[in-house]
Each structure stands twice: as C-alpha cells, then as structure tokens.
Structure 1
C-alpha cells in the first residue's frame, strides 16, 4: 500500500522564466515525499522543461523557493544537488545526458569524476572508474560490447539505461526524471519503470515528468497536471480517469 514518508522536495510559489524572459512556470506549489512517485502530466510546452531545469540547478529561479529536506536549495547548483542525493534523468539524453564521443565508462562518471573515489586531484583513478562502470553495466543491463565502446554506438534504449545507471547506482534520496522513456523500445521502457518502482519501494522520492499519459497512470501515486505554467489539477492514482486528466491538460479541469 502507498505510504509516503517525510517531505523531500517542496516547491513554494515557484516561478521560472524562459529564454525570452516570459513566465514559463507561474508560481506552483507541490511536494514530493519519500517512498512516493509523483507524476507531472501535460502537453509538451506548458512549462515542464523549465520547471525541471529550475529544480535541478540548470536554470535560475525567478521567484519563490525550493527546499530539500527543509534545506533551501532554490539557488543550488547541479553539483550541490548531486551531493545532497538528488539524481536527474534529463529529457534529452543527447543534449544533456551523455557525450556521444565518450565511451561508456567515461559517461558513467560525468557527474562525479571529481569525487575522491575517482580523482586524485590531478589524474583520474581509471581502475576504479572501470570497475564502477563494469558493475553498473551489469546491474542495469546495459547492452554494450564493452565499457570502452562509444556511447554513440549503443542503441537508444541502452544509451538511456546507461544514463539511468549513472544516476541511480549511487545512494540517492530523490530522482527527478524527465521523459525517461520517450522513444524507447518496450523492453527498455519496462526495465526503466521497474527500476523506478524499486527505488520508490526503497524509500526514494520520485518525480516523473512525462507527456505519456499511460506512463503517468501506471507509475504514479499522485498526479499533477501542468497547463500554461500552472498546476491545473491534482489527482490520486487509481481515482483519476483519463477523461479528467485530459480535461485538466486542456485547461478545462474543475
């Protein structure tokens, strides 16, 4: 049974602007707790991208605040959030989730290469990098000829599993996943969903932003709908109908 724990991520009147200095997120409030999956549904272009970037330290917050376990992280960097145990699966793996010209092992440490376990401060500890990469590849079923294969040579599903492995193999408290299975094959989708549910069952809070309504309905304990930068509806899983969510997505909710 669904039994969430402490509040992890809290957004308070959060406001975010886009590249044209227009309001993309207009003062939203929501909470993600331990051991729950919260989904943000909506048609693409209603502020979801800007919201995720603001929550993960990749875009400035224009107003309001964000807290994590009570700590103000409104203006925290992506690296600071990583250290707090916040993981991020970006919506476009090619643009911000991996480097195609790097091999699998190198991609596995993109967000932690500076840590003492991998760096002496002068050079990388390559044997430790390779051991970690090999373990992650095995644990997350990344199909690759070797950890030295270029990321560009992997299928889309295996590229995404590589990103998921990098983000989820460590001890995390919160996972923010944007369009985590877009364009993937059925097998990869099922595998990534299974890992997310396992993380929730282990106490991790999960925030999923997806335009795939089936994904939202099958994974989430609570569902928020974004429309024109605002929360247009909130639903409990199992009680919401596709029709109700669809109306909220069109801005015609109650």
Structure 2
C-alpha cells in the first residue's frame, strides 16, 4: 500500500456512512487522503467509519446532511473544506433505490429520487468545483441501470441514473480547462444492506451476469480510488461499468 498516493488530498463522500460509500471512504483513506463523509441518519454508523479512518492515521469528519436538503449538502461541502483545509476529491455516492411501474409511480417519488440522486449531486459538484484547484476529481456513483433497463419498474430510478451520465459529461466539458475531471462509476449488483447477495431478487440478478455473483463494495471502491489518483488524469467524461458483465 502506497499511502503517499493521495497524501495531502482531501476527499468528500456523500452517503459515506454505509455500503459502497463507506467502502470508498476507507479505500481513499488507505491511499492517504483525509476524509469527510455525510450521513442522513444513523450517526453510530458514521462514527464507526470515522473511527476506522482515524485508525489509519488520517483526519476524518462526519457531517449530517440529507441529500433531500440542497442547502445542507452545500453547507456540508463548505464545512468539509473549512474543517480539513482543502477539497480535492468529491464522490457523489448517496442514493436510494426505487421500483414502481409507470402506472403506479407517483410524482412525489419521482421528485424524491431525482432530488437525492441528481439535484444533490449538482449542488455538491457546483460547491466543490468552486473550491477545487487543478487536478480535482469529481466522481459519481451511478448504476448499470443507468445504461440499460433489463426489467420493469425502473421508470424513476433509471431516469435519475441516466441523468447523472449527462451531468458527468457536462461537468467534464465545463471543468476540463481547469484540469478537473468528472467521471461516473456504474455498479451492478453489489452485496450491501440495500441489495444483499442473499436477497429475494438476487438469483434473478445473477442470471443476467457473465460472472454470476454479486460484487463487493470494495470492488467499487477500488475503481473509485483509481479515478481519484494521478493515473486517471486524462480520463474525463467517462462512464465505467463494473457489474460482472450484466450489460454485455
């Protein structure tokens, strides 16, 4: 492990208290970054992540900020910058899952999911970009369901994740002259509390995959750490799928 790889870098991860977000926070800390995370509830989970990061010798902050509250998200970015002294890496990871066929989907649910996935990511990215210098990284956690829609009921969820692809590409154009990159990671079935590998619908998901098993949160985190590092400096506007071949 080369702890100098991201040494003196500060990373801000939304939804960093559990699942993929927590794995990303720990992976970036192992590579040398100081970490700020947001959480919407369950402060004890956020505290566990903070303690694990501090055991690695890195500084860490947990900031309560629900992605439904745009002002709170913007304030959290600024708190992270003030508390840790800079901001180099933003990972928009906070998310929810939503399944409803179009005939029963509601406008309220549409607004909720779009706010959490798209509006909050826009707000965080805008706030972070204003604070980042050359070499900054903005990384979105999307979904392979933002590339293909293999089963019904995803009119809201997939819409939100497809929208993140557009936001990624637009930010890459806007921020490229400043040497700030923007990329989106598209996970498939990943073993988390939101979608456990032994869940009710797990077998149907495995049946779609070339490698018929769920990924681990650490698999997603490994790709994010690559995109956060110097090796990825010429990659921007890219959508990178990590789903065991479900979409091939």
More helix by share: 2
What's the TM-score once normalised by structure 1's chain length? Answer: 0.34
More strand by share: 1
Greater Rg by CA? 1
What's the TM-score once normalised by structure 2's chain length? Answer: 0.34
Greater relative CO, 1 or 2 (CA 8 Å, sep 6+): 1
